[in-house]
């Protein structure tokens, strides 16, 4: 407790120092927003309080410091609402729908059923099972949270891990394949991981709409290539020592009542997401339709709603509110004139992508995205879509340490791998993934959007 109080005090001192350090050319509202930004960055990075708690602090500070009636922004009585509205934004609703689908898949064991069927196609050879596990994990993480997918898949591979002999290097590779594939798979769809949604939210505020299928046309090809990279790296670092090892598969699990309804609703939702340009419904509306169907059919109830990751939604709210404050206060405009912000083209994209990867390696990738993307979006560029998507993807490539992502932490918590075991392949995968993305994403974006 004392340590947290000291960290809190130091954070406030640093934030106050930032406020007074900024020159007189920086508007007063911008200085106050910079104070809030510093508090948020340090609270999120140091985990002084829970991440969602920091988001609530951010919203309250923005309202008190710059959102009051007649304050530094000279807002009217309802001006504070600009910091409350983001909680009902389309991106929040999109993720809300994703949580509902994920809960239904888990509750009715649809995810385990699919996993069991897919793995039965892989045969009994460990390398084929490794590839099957990675592909299945990646596909699941495109539609459910990376953390939930990792928890499911770690349970599924437990019998395989148990059959491996003591000291078998492949055991570590098998375990690490789950969080790494979940992290990579998350980039495939807009709802795959929070940074994707944050990118879409900031682009939407800039008047740029990216549809569900347009994102997939960028994310899925990249994910496929990177999964190949993960497979090669893990086989190199943790090869199968006993070449005669074979896995014995368990019997299939029967689906409980209601699972067919979940399959149908899931199929309808995905179809609507992929055909947005035909029917005209926004992805967030489709997500709410899915929630309504799941509740109306009795598949989800009040207890299920309580199990949603509400803390993630609150965390995203804080990030979106911070972005609104950076824009409204003039901090974004002021930052544009600074030397670092004078970078252009690929130099700008590479610089911000490296910063995003570095921050995400040591703090929540969601928090990192909420901090960096609004700043990057404030820089006038010909096509801001390049910068926003590159940063969002870079945040998902951080997987070198247990603290880098919740999936990594779950795998580490099993006690069979060390930080060093994760860091060796994780660092290479992170850096090479970033390089592949920077080399190819502009081509993909141009191809999808015709730029």
pLDDT tens sequence across 27-52: 888 888 889 988 887 887 777 888 78
* Mean pLDDT in residue range 300-312: 85
> What local confidence, expressed as pLDDT, does residue 226 receive?
95
396 against 76, higher pLDDT: 396
According to the model, what pLDDT value does residue 113 have? 74
Beta strands in 116-269 (DSSP E): none
Which range is most confident: 2-11, 252-261, 394-403, 424-433?
Answer: 424-433
Would you state the pLDDT for residue 122?
74
Q: Among the listed ranges 213-222, 298-307, 371-380, which one has the minimum average pLDDT value? A: 371-380
What pLDDT score was predicted for residue 183? 92
Asked if residue 163 has pLDDT above 80, the reply is: no
Classified as helix, coil or strand, 75 is strand
Of 444, 450, 58, which Cα lies nearest the Cα of 218?
444
* Average pLDDT score over residue span 439-443: 81
The SS3 assignment for 69 reads: strand
The answer, yes or no, to whether residue 181 has pLDDT greater than 80, is yes
**Residue 373 in contact with residue 325, Cβ under 8 Å?**
no
Report how far residue 380's alpha carbon sits from residue 403's, in angstroms, rounded to the nearest whole number: 34
pLDDT of residue 229: 94
On the question of pLDDT at 250 being above 60, the answer is no
The per-residue pLDDT for range 311-321, each reduced to its tens digit, is 778 877 887 78
C-alpha radius of gyration, the chain, whole number: 22
State which of 5-9, 87-91, 409-413 shows the largest mean pLDDT: 5-9
Report whether pLDDT(442) > 70.
yes
Give the chain's length.
451
Distance of alpha carbon 294 from alpha carbon 280, whole angstroms: 22
CB atoms within 10 A of CB 345: 10
The pLDDT value recorded for residue 338 is 64
What is the share, in percent, of the chain residues with pLDDT greater than 70? Answer: 88
pLDDT range class, residue 257, cuts 50, 70, 90: confident
402 or 174, greater pLDDT: 174
| Averaged pLDDT score across all residues of the chain | 82
Cα distance between residue 222 and residue 138, in whole Å = 12
Q: Is the pLDDT of residue 339 over 70?
A: no
């Amino acid at each position: 407790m004392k340590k947290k109080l000291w960290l809190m005090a130091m954070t406030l001192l640093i934030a106050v120092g930032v406020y007074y350090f900024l020159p007189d050319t920086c508007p007063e509202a911008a200085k106050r927003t910079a104070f809030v930004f510093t508090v948020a960055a340090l609270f999120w990075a140091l985990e002084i309080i829970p991440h969602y708690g920091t988001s609530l602090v951010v919203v309250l500070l923005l309202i008190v410091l710059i959102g009051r009636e007649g304050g530094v922004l000279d807002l009217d009585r309802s001006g504070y609402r600009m910091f409350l509205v983001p909680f009902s934004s389309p991106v929040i609703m999109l993720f809300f729908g994703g949580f509902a689908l994920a809960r239904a898949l888990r509750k009715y064991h649809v995810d385990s059923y699919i996993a069991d069927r897919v793995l039965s196609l892989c045969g009994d050879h460990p390398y084929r099972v490794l590839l099957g596990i990675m592909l299945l994990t990646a596909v699941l993480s495109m539609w459910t949270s990376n953390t939930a997918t990792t928890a499911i898949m770690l349970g599924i591979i437990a019998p395989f891990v148990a059959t491996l002999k003591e000291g078998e290097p492949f055991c570590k590779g098998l375990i690490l394949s789950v969080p790494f594939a979940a992290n990579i798979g998350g980039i495939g769809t807009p709802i795959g991981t929070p940074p994707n949604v944050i990118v879409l939210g900031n682009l939407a505020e800039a008047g740029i709409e990216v549809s569900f299928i347009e994102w997939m046309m960028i994310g899925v090809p990249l994910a496929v290539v990177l999964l190949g990279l993960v497979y090669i790296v893990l086989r190199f670092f943790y090869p199968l020592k006993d070449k005669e090892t074979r896995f014995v598969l368990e019997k299939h699990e029967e689906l409980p009542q209601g699972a067919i309804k979940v399959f149908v609703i899931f199929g309808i939702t995905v179809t609507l997401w992929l055909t947005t340009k035909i029917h005209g419904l926004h992805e967030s509306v489709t997500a709410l339709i899915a929630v309504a169907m799941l509740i109306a059919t009795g598949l989800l109830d009040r207890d299920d709603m309580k199990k949603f990751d509400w803390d993630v939604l609150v965390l995203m709210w804080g990030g979106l509110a911070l972005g609104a404050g950076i824009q409204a206060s003039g901090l974004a405009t002021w930052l544009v004139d600074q030397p670092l912000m004078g970078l252009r083209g690929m130099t700008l994209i590479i610089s911000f992508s490296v910063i995003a990867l570095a921050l995400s390696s040591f703090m929540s990738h969601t928090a990192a995205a909420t901090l960096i993307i609004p700043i990057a979006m404030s820089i006038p560029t010909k096509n801001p879509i390049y910068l926003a998507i590159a940063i969002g993807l870079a945040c998902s490539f951080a997987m070198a340490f247990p603290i880098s992502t919740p999936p990594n932490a779950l795998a580490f918590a099993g006690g069979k791998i060390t930080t060093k075991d994760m860091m060796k392949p994780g660092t290479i995968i992170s850096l090479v993934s970033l390089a592949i993305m920077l080399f190819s994403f502009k081509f993909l974006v141009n191809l999808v959007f015709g730029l």
